[in-house]
Amino acid sequence: MKALSLSKLLWTGLALFALLLWLASNVVVVADLRQPLRDVYPTMFLMRQGFSHIPASNPAYKFGSHWQHALDGRRSTSASDTYVEVTVANTSCVYLEVSLYCRRNGPSSPPAPNARHVSSMRDHGCDSDVLQSGARLRVKIQDRTEREYHVTHGKTVKLACGLAQDQAHHIRIRALLPSDPSKGVRLKFDGLWLNREGYLVRALAAGQPYIEVASATNLSIPSSYPSLLASRLNMSHVGIDTRNKCLSAHSEGGCSDLRSHHFGSRNTCTPLGFFSHRFDVEAPSAHILELGESDALHILRPGVTEDQVGQAVDALVKQYRAFIHSIRATAHEYASGHGIAMNVIETSYAYNSDSMATPILLLVPFTRSRQARQLLRSIVSRTAQEARTDGDLYVVWADTERWVTKDDMLRGNDSAAGQLSDHAHTKIAFGLSEILCPLMPVVAGCHYHVPRKYDGELHLPDAAGMGRLLEERKLALIKERLGIFGAS
């Protein structure tokens, strides 16, 4: 009996020791029981308080470009700067449920059920410092002051309480992700929590026009030129970070394919392994493409001959034109009953029926390397010229050569990606607004479209007077044809 009890004690001790090792290796953090329920399990707390969840699949949400559908009805994005709009009614409190996770060179993975588990970051290929830096959410509710929230992992954010239930409240949420897309950081939007009687109001009118900017410049800062430009034109904007993204097919130096990044992303949950962007709002009113820096640095790598540079430039111009053509080819309406083929990645901008009238501005990336800048000027100017020769007159090269000087670039950086001074961003925004205004439809912030007041007098003749004027005009034309009046 003693031997049996000792054996049980031994096995019990080994089991406890193994459990301690497992806990230490997985770094499980157990929630403090003294914490309020709303802090530990916010979803359960909201349900017990009588709140109802409005998922992201609700058609009343209006998402900016580059939000992707998930099979569970949620939406996710890796764009550096994008937004979602919604109008709520019959509710006094609004909570936002979002989550942040990493996807690195593989299919997207859902966030961990418990965001406090550090082990979940290893499961999804994330470094702790990447998610710890988090994302920023700038939330504007109707006439209230805009507020900013910091999100790491998963979070339920209280946006407002004390709202008037007999009024509708418009909410605009702008998501600013970490600026380096190579980290694979994605934001997942789960939806809103409202009072049980609350609901979303579906907007029937067109949303605010917006500009889509694909750039290697840091787009997640409020002083960036896309933000200043949109503010100047009274528009919104969406930023697509193209750092370490290439138009060409090479993959040296960690450069990945720009087309896949811009038009879609891999997702093994779909039948064909591809899930493209679907926009539920209007297409962009303008595109700004600041592309080619990574390609130029690859072309100018050591050991490349002059002939190889020429061939690479010709190929890059061709690929740049194909990228623009993909945007044009997909900027048209489609019949909603036909669906979209999942193997076609260019299903973006589906609601724009006037594709050739949408301006596309091509910019030379702002880089310190004079050699790379000269090469990029040649590539961008050729691309714009060939596109216009083919009849696409709304592809415009915005020559920014004299806009930014060396003094406008922060010291200690070889590349200007995200390293421009605030003064440089201001100059770029002003210059682009002068170019975009004449090319765009009527925009409130565009002074080119301000109607002029007519100060003269307008006389409208009666029927008899109009007939007399027409007869006099006919007689004058006959005399002029016969040469009766001579040269005068």
Q: What confidence category does residue 182 fall into, taking pLDDT thresholds of 50, 70 and 90?
A: low
Residue 243 lies in a domain: yes
Question: What pLDDT score does 289 carry?
Answer: 93
Q: Is the pLDDT score of 113 beyond 90?
A: no
424 domain residue, yes or no: yes
Local structure of 150: helix, strand or coil: strand
For residue 347, pLDDT over 50 is answered with no
Residues 220 and 308 in one domain: yes
**In whole angstroms, what is the distance from residue 206 CA to residue 194 CA?**
25
Same domain? 102 vs 235: no
| pLDDT mean over 180-184 | 57
Higher-scoring residue by pLDDT: 302, 349:
302
Nearest to 436 by CA among 228, 175, 208, 206: 228
pLDDT at 383: 93
| Alpha carbon distance 363, 213 (integer Å) | 11
Higher pLDDT, 66 or 72: 66
- 260 shares its domain with 134: no
Look at residue 466 and tell me if it is in a domain: no
Q: What is the mean pLDDT of residues 192-206?
A: 80
The more confident residue out of 76 and 43 is: 76
Q: How many other CB atoms are there within 10 angstroms of residue 194's CB atom?
A: 23
CA distances from 110 to 44, 98, 130 (A): 20, 12, 16
Give tens-digit pLDDT for 218-231.
776 778 898 888 88
Residue 130 and residue 178 in contact, taking contact as beta carbons nearer than 8 Å = yes
Is residue 175 located within the same domain as residue 244?
Answer: no
**Does the pLDDT of residue 382 top 90, yes or no?**
yes
Average pLDDT, the chain: 72
Where is the domain boundary, 162, 179, 203? 203
Q: Is residue 67 part of a domain?
A: yes
Give the confidence band of 21 by pLDDT, cuts at 50, 70, 90.
low
Domain count, the chain: 2
* pLDDT for 58 beyond 50: yes
Instruction: Report yes or no on 294 lying in a domain.
Output: yes
Q: Dihedral of CA 219/221/224/229: which sign?
A: positive
Q: Are residues 389 and 251 in the same domain?
A: yes
Dihedral pair phi/psi, residue 248, rounded to 5°:
-80, 170
pLDDT band at 266 (very low <50, low <70, confident <90, very high): very low
Highest mean pLDDT among 108-122, 283-297, 434-448: 283-297
Residue 443 sits in a domain whose CATH number is 3.40.50.1110
Q: Which of 371, 378, 377 is nearest to 401 (CA)?
A: 377
Amino acid identity for residue 35 in this structure: Q
The DSSP call for residue 450 is P
Helix (H, G, I), strand (E, B) or coil at 403: coil
Q: Which of 104-108, 177-181, 367-371, 402-406 has the lowest mean pLDDT?
A: 104-108
Q: Per-residue pLDDT averaged across 276-297, rounded?
A: 74
In angstroms, rounded to a whole number, what is the distance separating the alpha carbons of residues 37 and 161? Answer: 19
- Let me know whether 123 and 197 are in one domain: yes
Whether 256 and 193 map to the same domain: the answer is: no
Largest CA distance in the chain: 139
Is residue 33 included in any domain, yes or no? yes
Task: Determine the 3-state secondary structure of 361 from DSSP.
Answer: strand
Mean pLDDT of 344-370: 65
Q: Is residue 10 part of a domain?
A: no
Shared-domain flag, residues 181 and 239: no
Residue 158 shares a structural domain with residue 267: no
The pLDDT value given to residue 362: 94
Local confidence band at 109 (pLDDT 50, 70, 90 cut-offs): very low
Q: Tell me which of 168, 187, 203 is where a domain ends.
A: 203
What is the pLDDT, as a whole number, of residue 115? 35
Best mean pLDDT range from 11-15, 295-299, 316-320, 460-464: 316-320
Confidence (pLDDT) at 363: 92
DSSP 449: G
pLDDT at residue 150 in the model: 79
pLDDT at 445: 56
**Pair (83, 178) in one structural domain:** yes
Report which of 275, 211, 280 is spatially closest to residue 60, judged by C-alpha positions: 280
Residue 269 pLDDT more than 50? no
216 in any annotated domain: yes
Q: What is the pLDDT of residue 133?
A: 67
Same domain, yes or no: 262 and 150: no
Are 91 and 178 within 8 A, CB to CB?
no
Is residue 5 predicted with pLDDT exceeding 60? yes
Q: pLDDT at position 469, please? A: 82
Tell which of 142, 172, 203 closes a domain: 203
Q: What residue numbers bound the domain in which 248 lies?
A: 206-448
Minimum mean pLDDT range among 172-186, 296-310, 358-372, 438-452: 438-452
Quick: pLDDT tens for 119-129.
333 334 455 55
Q: For residue 273, what pLDDT is reported? A: 35
Give the distance from CA 75 to its chain's centroid. Answer: 13
Residue 100 belongs to a domain with what CATH number? 2.60.120.260
